Amino acid sequence: MTIPIYGIGTINVTKNDIFYVITFDYFDENKEYYNLIKKEMQKKNEEERLKTEMQKQINGEKTIINGNYVFPVVKYSKIGVKIPKISYVTFYIEIPIKLADGKNTYENIYDETTAEYDYSVTWVLPKCGKFIKIDSPGNHEFENNYAFLYVSKGTKISGYESIVFEIKDKCI
């Protein structure tokens, strides 16, 4: 059985898309993924299963850009191993978007929960972008086109987050 121990995500915003790369680290006492990566067909089947499960989870959320619902798509999931008992799964997710010239708002609405493990998320805007306001669980800081969010295990998560940023149309 694998137990999640840490999550890290990078979210890149471009003119027409948001790209997520999210990695979950797992304590894998029985070396399930370590043994699985040697079996190509079984590994691919597990990656497809994980991709489908993540898509189901995302489909249960509401993602809104500038008041319009958008639909994140899980493109890939990949399994790897750091050391035999520490494995990871990385998800590659895309959202087609249409940014406004100037202020933009990303909102995500999901079930209230409690963080089961520590995680961090880095948002990256084009160089000319800047963050204005972040309403998200845990701690965060931002400067110019980078934002850093940190959530500790045990943090109560309200089920709503909002990221407000500005990008001028002529800069991208």
Cα–chain center distance at 120 = 9
pLDDT at res. 168: 84
pTM: 0.94
Distances (CA, A) of 50 to 22, 54, 86, 105, 112: 13, 6, 17, 29, 22
Determine the residue type at 169: D
pLDDT, one tens digit per residue, over 64-91 is 999 999 999 999 999 999 999 999 999 9
pLDDT at res. 92: 98
CB 95 within 8 A of CB 68: no
User: Which of 35-39, 43-47, 66-70 shows the lowest per-residue confidence on average (mean pLDDT)?
Assistant: 35-39
Cα separation, 15 vs 126, in Å, equals: 9
CB 25 within 8 A of CB 4: yes
Cα separation, 127 vs 171, in Å, equals: 8
On the question of pLDDT at 52 being above 80, the answer is yes
Runs of H (alpha helix) within 17-141:
32-36, 40-59
| Mean of the per-residue pLDDT values of the chain | 95
pLDDT at res. 171: 77
pLDDT, one tens digit per residue, over 58-69 is 999 999 999 999
Q: How many CB atoms lie within 10 A of CB 163?
A: 24
| Residue position matching structure tokens 């915003």 | 13
What number is the average pLDDT over the span 28-41? 93
